[in-house]
Amino acid sequence: MRQIKGDTTLVGISELRTHAEEIVKVAQRESVILEKHHRPIAVLVPIQRYERTEATLDALEEYLLGLLAKEREQRHPVKSYLSLEELERRVGLRHS
């Protein structure tokens, strides 16, 4: 196990097998990069950082979808949209 940045530790996969408990304790405080044959294969991060990252990505996705919806609405009039019922009828999920 070796510190590569102030808040990141590098660990070989074989070391993980023999020192898992110690490495998990480190991963609760900072990022741990797992490597195999001197190549990174995975990253362990504290759960709080993972949850913040997921929340940020979810918010960004919602924001981008909103922008796409606004853009589409500006390019295509709402009257050209199909209703859910019409779409189901056209793909054969609902009969007239």
For the chain, 96 residues long, give each residue's pLDDT as a single digit of tens. Answer: 888 877 899 999 999 999 999 999 999 999 999 999 999 999 999 999 999 999 999 999 999 999 998 888 888 777 778 888 888 988 987 766
SS3 11: strand
Output the pLDDT for position 96: 60
Do residues 3 and 21 touch, judged by C-beta distance below 8 A?
Answer: no
